[in-house]
Amino acid sequence: MFTLMLLLVLSACGEKELQDVKVGEVTRSIFYAPQYVAIEKGFFEEEGLNVELTTIPGGDKTMTALLSDGIDIALVGSETSIYVTAQGANDPIKNFAQLTQTDGTFLVAREKIENFSWEMLKDSTFLGQRKGGMPQMAGEFVLKKHGIDPHNDLELIQNVDFANIASAFASGTGDYVQLFEPTASVFEKEGRGHIVASFGTESGHLPYTTFMTKASLIDSDPETVEKFTRAIKKAQDWVYENSAEDVAKAIQPFFEDTDVELIATVVERYRAQESYAKDPILDEGEWNNLQDVMEEAGELPRRMDYNELVDTSFAEKVTK
């Protein structure tokens, strides 16, 4: 009996105490696969962290939770850090680890098109994303790149809530729609639409979704930020080193209502265009591209210095 009790005590003493880290993601998406891999494969636990993940729909709500200490780290578009800084945040926001490096939306046509060209969008009805959001800004950037004025050369619809865009298209609104995965692939599989182009490929690399936190947390607890970033780097490596099927199986607990084969299709599509960042470093070229996209859309409050809002020290350390 004494031996058993001793073993239990020793076992309890040997347990590694995990530090809780509250993370708020702006939406639940296969686009964020490396984050879920880091949780499911125990990479956070290896670093001594217990990540409590919450989905907080909307960039504004996610940032409010971060600024009010409702969460420690936010996974959201980098443009939100620019908006918050322009409004005069008391505690500066720092982007410290990049998760996705391209836009994650696809252009879906109602009819099947054998030889698509962007010129075909002229005089069409285009169901876009919310004004001021990164998907819409990237969409407009790509249209202009192809010589299309989104406000004069086509009928642009952007007053539909994000959650209702897919159903609006399914019910007959629009000739084209800008959709995230897996909805785009689901529509294609069901014959409701056909993927004809990728906004991610067309808009180039930009810090589309990053992990960010307040400067005060970085100053007070840099070790935790470094551990978190290291776990993300492990997950990024794992996503590219393993098959799409294995990645799909790993993250399926986060998408219980989605068929694993469909998840694998989406993962492969995002990997093929390198939407998943291969390391957590947000470089200056990407940052400048982001601001160019925002400026082109008329949504950039002012140019923000790279070093003011980006801290790559942790990402660079874990990537070496």
Query: What per-residue confidence (pLDDT) applies to 163?
Result: 81
Owner of token pair 């406000």 = 151
More confidently predicted of 5 and 292: 292
Q: Report pTM.
A: 0.90
Longest dimension (CA), the chain: 83
Whether pLDDT at 134 is above 90? no
Domains 12-102+206-319 and 105-203 share a fold: yes
Write out the two tokens for 185. Answer: 């692939």
What letter represents residue 86's amino acid?
A: A
d(CA 88, CA 270): 35
d(CA 71, CA 62): 9
Question: Which residue from 96, 59, 74, 99 is spatially nearest to 21, judged by alpha carbons?
Answer: 74
What letter represents residue 288's amino acid?
A: N
Mean pLDDT to the nearest integer, 185-196? 94
Confidence of residue 133 (pLDDT cuts 50, 70, 90): confident
Mean pLDDT to the nearest integer, 181-199? 94
d(CA 45, CA 19): 9
d(CA 123, CA 130): 21
Q: Judge contact between 105 and 169, C-beta under 8 A.
A: no
Query: What per-residue confidence (pLDDT) applies to 28?
Result: 93
Residue range 287-317, pLDDT digits in tens: 999 999 999 889 999 999 999 999 999 999 9
Whether pLDDT at 12 is above 90? no
The CATH architecture of the domain made up of 12-102+206-319 is 3-Layer(aba) Sandwich (3.40)
Whether pLDDT at 46 is above 80? yes
Backbone angles phi, psi at 145, to 5 degrees: -60, -30
Give percent above pLDDT 90 in the chain. 86
Distance of CA 308 to the CA centre of its chain: 21
Residue range 56-98, pLDDT digits in tens: 998 899 999 999 999 999 999 999 999 999 998 789 999 999 9
Query: What per-residue confidence (pLDDT) applies to 130?
Result: 81
CA distances from 242 to 113, 246, 271 (A): 33, 6, 11
Residue range 225-250, pLDDT digits in tens: 999 999 999 999 999 999 999 999 99
Mean pLDDT to the nearest integer, 195-203? 94
The CATH number of 105-203, from 3.40.190.10, 3.20.20.70, 3.10.440.10, 3.30.110.40, is: 3.40.190.10
Q: Domain-by-domain residue ranges, the chain? A: 12-102+206-319, 105-203
Query: What per-residue confidence (pLDDT) applies to 242?
Result: 98
Query: What per-residue confidence (pLDDT) applies to 221?
Result: 97
Cα atoms found within 13 Å of the Cα of residue 7, Cβ hemisphere only:
4
Cis check: omega of the bond before 182, within 30 degrees of 0: yes
Q: Judge contact between 181 and 244, C-beta under 8 A.
A: no
Give percent above pLDDT 70 in the chain. 95
Mean pLDDT to the nearest integer, 110-134? 92
Residue range 202-211, pLDDT digits in tens: 988 999 999 9
Confidence of residue 267 (pLDDT cuts 50, 70, 90): very high
Query: What per-residue confidence (pLDDT) applies to 11?
Result: 44
Whether pLDDT at 2 is above 70? no
Whole-number average pLDDT of the chain = 92
- In the sheet that 19-25 helps form, which strands lie side by side, from edge to edge? 49-55, 19-25, 73-76, 209-214, 93-100
Query: What per-residue confidence (pLDDT) applies to 7?
Result: 43
CA distances from 26 to 143, 160, 316 (A): 26, 18, 25
